[in-house]
Structure 1
Amino acid sequence: MLLASLVAAASLIPLGFVVAMTVAAGWETAVALVFRARTLELLGNTVLLAAITVPLCIVVGVGGAWLVERTSLRGSKAWAVLLAAPLAIPAFVNSYAWVSAVPSLEGVFSGVLIATLSYYPLVYIPAAAVLARLDPAIEQSAASLGLGAWSVFFRVVLPQLRIAIAGGALLVALHLLAEYGAFAMVRFDTFTTAIMEQYRSTFNGAAGNMLASVLVALCLVLLAAEARLRGNARYARIGSGAQSTPTRLPLGRWEPAAQGALAAVAVLAVGVPLWIVGRWAVAGGAAIWQTAELAHAVGSSLWLGLLGALVTTVVAFPLAFLAVRFPGTLSRTLELANYVTSSLPGIVLALAFVTVSLRMVPGIYQTTGLLVAAYVLLFLPRALVNLRAGLAQAPKELEEAARALGKAPLTAFVRVTLRLAAPAAAGGAALVFLAVVNELTATLLLSPLGTKTLATEFWSLSSEIDYAGAAPYALLMIALSAPVTYLLFQQSKKAAGQ
């Protein structure tokens, strides 16, 4: 209980920082900075970006999931993997590839293009999982009442996807608020790019703090909207029942169009980035692979990724244990505090850590410990969700049975509970590792002097228009991300009973 409370308290540091900075600025200054033309411009850009990108991601994600799981689409298993593959390509790498291919890309529609191609899998993967396990008897009953195929989809199937769509849309929107590198490359101003500019020019000045407060407010609005949209309706049956095999809708003459649409998505989201990055790697020759900086970046990324994954998983364990073994208002409140913090952009959390560390404990600024602490708060839910699921598969009755057979409490806990939860813990740690390896903004602000990761070195070289030199870093990030992306896809299919 004490450990879980301490973790939750630490997670409130970014929110406390934003509130404290707003109060310190004074009411008149805060109002003047928030309601100035620049802030309204950034707000307009952000709202327009989300208003176009989120619906596009829903259409592409749900449409792709329906074609793969509910139609007679040829090669559906291959398409299922290809549609999830863009998650292995960081958005700023995707942007780098497209800017290399089309140097004139800039503005809101370029941002929409990059964001949609990078983030639609956040809707596709949960939607496909729901469609895969959806009982076809529901659709068959609707069809027997005279509803056509499209009516069944919109009136029966689509409402069953409500939670998946709401959750996926929330993740897309939060990524849009947090993303820096992808939008900076196409010269599209958002709150995150503007805060980074303010930080570099005035080192955490009042204007940057006010932009951060608006960004935090937007995050909280998105969380509240998703909770309201998700609602309290039930979408599950009691017991697995005897589920029948779904009848796949024949595409007929629409087969070529469906294949063409999916091929276009795969080429734009996966083919173009891999081709452009590969082309730059070839153009750079062997010299770009034989640098001390590349070896250092690989080592640093692996070290920080492993350390961040280990510490985050260990920190998440008390919270997961409390949520599973002692459910109640307190455990839900502690868990919610971590979810709210993790939804904040890395730039806001990094600014909070910079300010708090310099003012209270200057010695920890730009240390590995502070950087790992930021990773923990940013990515804790990735480990928490998996651990909670794993601990749920290890009920306390099994541990009590082991103790009844003569095992000491600690031995019973280790040999029963920890053993059963280990696979879930490993899955959560893998997801945290992936996030740490590809993290950019917090690492740029908090990493110790001389520390270079694949993400920060890629960003440094690509910002200098050294696209050939940046290519190896991009390829290595994709290579490290691909296995974890495939693991995530396979876990979603297992959850669907496939």
Structure 2
Amino acid sequence: MDADTLRLAASGRRPWGLLAGAAAVAALVLLPLAFTLWQALTYGGQEAADLLLRPIVARLAGNTLLIVVASTLSCALAGTASAWFVERTRLPGHKLWALLCVVPLAIPPFITSFAWVSISADLQGFWGAWLVLTTAYTPLVYLPVSAMLRNMDPALEETARALGLGPWACFGRVALPQLKPALLGGMLLVALSSLSEFGAFMLLHFHTFTTEIYAEYRASFDSAGASLLASVLMLLGVVCLLAELRVRGDARYQRLDRGARRAAQRIELSWKRWPVLAGLLLQTAATLLVPIATILYWTLQPGADAVTPAEVSPQLLLSATLSSLELGLSGAALTTLLALPLGYLLARHPGRLAHLLERVVYLAQGVPGIVIALALVNLAIQWLRPLYQSALMLVLAYAVMFLPLALVSVRSALLQAESQLEELARSLGLNWWQALWRVVLPLAGPGLGAAASLVFISIVTELTATLLLSPIGTETLATQVWADTAALAFAAAAPYAAILIALSLCSTWLLMSLLGRGAVLGGGAHHE
């Protein structure tokens, strides 16, 4: 327990304002989830059975489970192998490969789907979906595993090698058990992302629960039926969360002594470096070269030579770009602002209630975006009619969906802003708000900027909620790519996809820069 918590407990004071703000944020997250369950319960027992026991539902469940399991396993294998070769071997250009293994995060899956579908229609269905999700989500495993490898005590592996274990046996018996938390966490992210994917599956004509929920709502506006299917999808997300918690167990993996941190000795690959380089090159080609090259090809392709000729309107291109920027910036600002009360509460006044509110917010991470968007559509139609088809409703949906991403960075940033400096400012006569504005927020600035950048990337590449909630006449880069690709107008979609990737890459560069700056500024602070 830190000094702030001890002093708070001793004085008997509670941060009621912070608690109220954090509770309001948690209630905002719970609202669409609870409404979805309530809508599903309005279905009669026999009607629900008739809907859920249809053959198509069994086929959708099979497709959903198959793609989630297949993509999670392939991403785990590719991400772990890439991380080990980059961090533990004398791989030529390992710093460049480290960057190339992360950059695919800036390319959303539906853009990758656009690239592969425009190459060949044979890449549709399960195999196309599996290829796209593997190339898009492998970095979600690579990032935590590579970070764990960098922070792991190299003495463990060196001792195993000294006792006669070879490189592969050392990895399997020593390194892999230590990587368990990072690997399972990455696999959980892949599973939840695959479960909630929509745009890629629609473009690849691979039918899952997300595509059926969207079709059900668009075809008949049957909110109760769509909510019932959405509840099944929510249940699958909860199962993924519980399965990860069960497999992870209660084992502890932290070092017992601080010691002197040093880099692990890299293993010499000799002739094996050539097949490893070939594998990494193939992975980079599938994740980066194919999407970027395809977009460039269709951008330069005359409309008459395209599959479906279509003119690119400069006005629409500019309008979609400005809409994406406006929604991304406003959504990132609101989401970061909403994360501040709970983040400050967790950083300065941790306790059971604070952690309970944190877990409530994290529920949104396990719920597909289409479920949240559909619930907000129904809420707006029934009780919040002035918000229906408004930009404010869409920005609120973004805030609910991406609040967990912002909260992680905001909490870490506030932990880095040392509480002693805030106490010193208060002792010099500043009130709580002045100390927060003039001391805490400037210190936490890089981390807050990183949180906003991460949310901005997620918003400009988001598709499902934007399709369901965007005001009539509002088009974004993501919705234009989806609409033109669905009509096989690949040449028309290419400029929108190019600008979208450029925005994502710039935001990713800004994110990495802010994270690096935050690490420097917070080097002496406590980290969690």
TM-score w.r.t. length of structure 1: 0.96
| 2:125 is aligned with 1:107 | yes
Structure-2 separation of matches of 1:162 and 1:488: 27
Structure-2 separation of matches of 1:290 and 1:28: 51
Q: Of the candidates 322, 332, 337, which is equivalent to residue 299 of structure 1?
A: 322
Instruction: Percent identity, please.
Output: 44
| 2:236 is aligned with 1:218 | yes
Aligned match of 1:372: 395
Structure-2 separation of matches of 1:476 and 1:343: 29
| 2:139 is aligned with 1:118 | no
Q: Of the candidates 373, 379, 382, which is equivalent to residue 405 of structure 2?
A: 382
Shift of 1:58: 0.5
Q: Can you list the C-alpha shifts for 1:293-336, whole angstroms capped at 9, x where unaligned?
A: 00000110000000000000100000101111121221111111
SS at match of 2:72: helix
Aligned match of 2:280: 262
Q: Of the candidates 129, 134, 149, which is equivalent to residue 147 of structure 2?
A: 129
The one-letter amino acid of 2:331's match is G
Q: Can you list the C-alpha shifts for 1:406-431, whole angstroms capped at 9, x where unaligned?
A: 43443222222111111111000000
Report the more deviating stretch, 453-462 or 389-398: 389-398
The one-letter amino acid of 2:95's match is K
| 2:467 is aligned with 1:444 | yes
Q: Of the candidates 328, 338, 356, which is equivalent to residue 351 of structure 2?
A: 328
Q: How does 1:354-373 map to 2 (within 5 A)?
A: 354-373=377-396
Q: Of the candidates 474, 478, 490, which is equivalent to residue 501 of structure 2?
A: 478
Shift of 1:238: 5.2
Aligned match of 1:308: 331
Q: Can you list the C-alpha shifts for 1:5-55, whole angstroms capped at 9, x where unaligned?
A: 111112112221222122110222222222321111111101111121111
Aligned match of 1:243: 261
The one-letter amino acid of 2:362's match is Y
The one-letter amino acid of 1:292's match is Q
Q: Can you list the C-alpha shifts for 1:90-139, whole angstroms capped at 9, x where unaligned?
A: 10010010011112222211110111011111101111111122221111
Aligned match of 1:182: 200
SS at match of 1:25: coil
Aligned match of 1:72: 90
The one-letter amino acid of 1:273's match is P
Aligned match of 2:186: 168
| 2:367 is aligned with 1:349 | no
Q: What is the root-mean-square deviation in Å for CA atoms of aligned residues?
A: 2.1
Q: Alpha carbons of 1:181 and 1:87: their partners in 2 closer, same or farther (altered >3 Å)?
A: same
Structure-2 separation of matches of 1:261 and 1:488: 28
Report the more deviating stretch, 409-418 or 439-448: 409-418
Q: Of the candidates 479, 493, 496, which is equivalent to residue 456 of structure 1?
A: 479
Q: Alpha carbons of 1:347 and 1:225: their partners in 2 closer, same or farther (altered >3 Å)?
A: same
Report the more deviating stretch, 388-397 or 236-245: 236-245
The one-letter amino acid of 2:26's match is A
The one-letter amino acid of 1:462's match is T
Aligned match of 1:82: 100
Report the more deviating stretch, 254-263 or 131-140: 131-140
SS at match of 1:104: helix
Structure-2 separation of matches of 1:144 and 1:247: 13
Q: Alpha carbons of 1:330 and 1:316: their partners in 2 closer, same or farther (altered >3 Å)?
A: same
| 2:453 is aligned with 1:435 | no
Aligned match of 2:70: 52
Aligned match of 1:422: 445
Q: Alpha carbons of 1:135 and 1:40: their partners in 2 closer, same or farther (altered >3 Å)?
A: same
Q: Alpha carbons of 1:408 and 1:216: their partners in 2 closer, same or farther (altered >3 Å)?
A: closer
Shift of 1:165: 1.0
Q: Can you list the C-alpha shifts for 1:328-370, whole angstroms capped at 9, x where unaligned?
A: 2211111111111232111111110111111112111011111
Q: Can you list the C-alpha shifts for 1:360-395, whole angstroms capped at 9, x where unaligned?
A: 121110111111110000000111101100111123
Structure 1 portions without partners, runs of 5+:
none
The one-letter amino acid of 2:415's match is A
Structure-1 separation of matches of 2:418 and 2:409: 15
Structure 2 portions without partners, runs of 5+:
1-18, 305-309, 524-528
SS at match of 1:327: coil
Structure-2 separation of matches of 1:494 and 1:170: 29
User: Contact (CA 8 Å) 1:343, 1:378: kept in 2 or not?
Assistant: no
Shift of 1:240: 4.0
| 2:318 is aligned with 1:318 | no
User: Contact (CA 8 Å) 1:284, 1:469: kept in 2 or not?
Assistant: no
